[in-house]
Each structure stands twice: as structure tokens, then as C-alpha cells.
């Protein structure tokens, strides 16, 4: 009977550090003829206590990216109050009983915490695994540009608008995935239609204008995207509006992806709508060149939506 090698983590963003951990779990499992499972949660544990959380990817994106590392499946459960109160020892026993044949190996990051009040660390995890005949692999930190690759750091970079530095830690551009919703449709009056994206719980990069790639129905289009409040037209709420350059697309109600390649400028209030859309035209010219230079190397995976 096959046993299961389990990778433990939230894996939000599935960055380079996560990938190293997940690939090691897949390697260990497959060398022993076992199944590699990424055990994770539907919601970030912090969301249980804070009520919201700025995610780096959707659950659907995360599952696709995890599977690309060689893991056979993703086991994702709700993180609720009952689970949060489980003692570290009880969690390991629960995990071992969850999979037919039991757990053969656990792979976790160097800073992994588990159990009620995050009382368990990798030292306790090793003790618990040894007493239960479970192999344990602890993955060291992965550094990029001299910094530890971590979801928290990636969020900081995105909030600062440093999408290229975030990309180096993610191993791919940061991607917003969301449904296109109706807005004021002002862009159509200036032959510059934009798609307003409901990005749900995903974190938004710093306000500004970005060169992006828009993916829809398996095709990619160069795009220019604005994150902000649209001060020229009296906007207040933060929105994400993207313009597919040189393409006329019917996107309302459709799910799209927008990959952030580079930040072009700050958001600015113009004296008129005409001046605003002239600037968008200039931004689009720059964004198109950026996309042409980058497009071949941006997406190496199957479509995420």
C-alpha cells in the first residue's frame, strides 16, 4: 500500500522557497513509490483572527502552481477555530491518520509553526516524527537578491510597486486574477476601452500605471493597467483597470488574468479627461514595447483560468 509524503505550508504565492519545498516532497515520495500531497488551508490562519488577508494568488492559481512542482494532489481544508485549537501532537496524529497507509515523510520549511497558538516548531516536529516513524525533511531558507524569499516580503514589495523584484522571488510575474465588472465606461468615449477587474482578496500593487500582459481564453495581449482611485474622473475607491492594446475584447463578466511586468509611473490627476487619455496612449506605447521584449519568457505554465 502506498503511503503519503506530505508537504506542509500555506503556500500563498507558491514562490521559489515554496517550490523548493514542494519539489523535495515530490522527489521523496516518488523515489519511494509514495504519493506526494501538499497539505494546506482554504484560508490563511491570520484571516481567522483578522477577518481579511491580502493573498498573493487565488486558490485555483495556487493549486495549478503546486501541481507544476510534481506534487500529485493538493489537500486543502478550512482553517477554523476548532482546528486552530488543536495541540501540536494531536495535529501530527490527525495528519498521520488522514491518509490511507499513513504518512511516510513530512517536508516543512525552516520556520514552520503548527498547533494551537503556533506552539510547535521544527524542533518539536522532528521529535514527534521520530517517535512515530515518520521521516522529516526541513528546507532551509531560499534567498533572492540577498533577501529571504518569503510571502511577507513579496507583499511588501508589491505595496511599494516593486513588481520586478517581487517577480524574482515568485519566479514569475505577479498575477491578478478576477472577473471584469461594469464601470463608468469612459474609456470607450476616447477609443480606449478598459476592463475593471474585481480582484477579490488578492493584494493590489501600489497605485500607479503598469505595463502588463492580459490573458483571456488562452490568449495573451499586451496591456497597460492602472491601479488607483482615478482622481481625474473623481474616483474614490481603489480599482484595477486594464486596457488591452490593439485588441477589442468583450470581457464583461469574464474571468481574466493580468500579469504585472513593470511600473511605468505614479497615478496622476490631469486637468481634463482628454489629457488623461492622451497620456494613456503614451503609456500604452511604452507598455507594448515592454510586453514585446518580455512576452516570450513570461508564462511557462498552462492557463490558470
Q: What's the pLDDT at 173?
A: 95
pTM of the model: 0.90
Q: Are 177 and 199 in contact (CB under 8 A)?
A: yes
Closest among 267, 271, 260 to 239, alpha carbons compared: 267
Q: What's the pLDDT at 301?
A: 46
d(CA 290, CA 305) in angstroms, rounded, equals 24
Q: Are 151 and 13 in contact (CB under 8 A)?
A: yes
Per-residue DSSP letters for 172-190? S-EEEEEEEE----GGGGG
Cell numbers 506534487 correspond to 71
d(CA 255, CA 242) in angstroms, rounded, equals 13
Q: Are 70 and 23 in contact (CB under 8 A)?
A: yes
Domains by residue range for the chain, with CATH? 4-147 (3.40.50.620), 174-298 (2.40.30.30)
Sequence length of the chain is 305
Q: Which helix (H) or strand (E) holds 165?
A: helix 163-170
- pLDDT per residue rounded down to tens, the chain (305 residues): 689 999 999 999 999 999 999 999 999 999 999 999 999 999 999 998 888 899 999 999 999 999 999 999 999 999 999 999 999 999 999 999 999 999 999 999 999 999 999 999 999 999 999 999 999 999 999 999 999 999 999 999 999 999 999 999 999 999 999 999 976 555 454 456 788 999 999 999 999 999 999 999 989 999 999 999 877 666 668 889 999 998 888 888 999 999 999 999 988 877 677 777 788 888 889 999 998 888 655 544 444 33
Measured between alpha carbons, how far is residue 18 from residues 78, 112, 179, 215, 301 in Å?
20, 12, 27, 24, 17
Q: Are 32 and 55 in contact (CB under 8 A)?
A: no
3-state secondary structure of 12: coil
d(CA 18, CA 152) in angstroms, rounded, equals 13
Q: What's the pLDDT at 246?
A: 85
Amino acid at each position: 500500500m502506498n503511503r503519503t509524503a506530505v508537504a506542509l505550508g500555506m503556500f500563498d504565492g507558491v514562490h521559489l522557497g515554496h517550490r523548493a519545498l514542494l519539489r523535495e516532497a515530490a522527489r521523496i515520495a516518488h523515489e519511494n513509490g509514495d504519493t506526494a500531497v501538499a497539505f494546506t488551508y482554504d484560508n490563511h490562519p491570520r484571516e481567522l483572527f483578522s477577518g481579511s488577508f491580502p493573498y498573493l494568488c487565488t486558490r485555483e492559481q495556487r493549486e495549478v502552481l503546486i501541481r507544476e512542482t510534481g506534487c500529485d494532489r493538493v489537500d486543502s481544508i478550512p482553517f477554523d477555530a476548532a482546528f486552530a485549537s488543536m495541540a501540536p501532537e494531536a495535529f501530527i496524529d490527525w495528519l498521520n491518520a488522514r491518509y490511507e497507509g499513513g504518512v511516510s515523510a513530512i517536508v516543512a520549511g525552516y520556520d514552520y509553526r503548527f498547533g494551537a497558538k503556533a506552539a510547535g516548531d521544527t524542533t518539536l516536529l522532528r521529535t514527534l516524527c521520530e517517535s512515530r516513524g515518520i521521516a522529516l525533511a526541513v528546507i532551509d531558507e531560499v534567498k533572492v537578491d540577498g533577501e529571504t524569499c518569503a510571502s511577507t516580503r513579496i507583499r511588501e514589495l508589491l505595496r511599494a510597486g516593486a513588481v520586478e523584484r517581487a517577480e524574482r522571488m515568485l519566479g514569475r510575474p505577479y498575477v491578478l486574477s478576477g472577473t471584469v465588472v461594469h464601470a463608468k465606461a469612459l474609456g470607450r468615449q476616447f477609443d480606449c476601452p478598459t476592463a475593471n477587474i474585481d480582484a477579490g482578496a488578492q493584494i493590489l500593487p501600489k497605485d500607479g500605471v503598469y505595463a502588463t500582459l492580459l490573458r483571456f481564453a488562452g490568449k495573451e495581449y499586451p496591456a497597460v493597467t492602472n491601479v488607483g482611485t482615478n482622481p481625474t474622473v473623481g474616483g474614490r475607491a481603489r480599482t484595477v483597470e486594464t486596457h488591452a492594446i490593439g485588441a477589442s475584447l468583450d470581457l464583461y463578466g469574464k474571468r481574466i488574468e493580468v500579469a504585472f511586468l513593470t511600473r511605468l509611473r505614479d497615478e496622476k490627476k490631469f486637468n481634463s479627461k482628454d489629457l488623461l487619455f492622451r497620456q494613456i496612449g503614451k503609456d500604452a506605447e511604452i507598455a507594448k514595447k515592454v510586453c514585446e521584449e518580455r512576452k516570450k519568457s513570461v508564462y511557462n505554465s498552462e492557463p490558470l483560468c
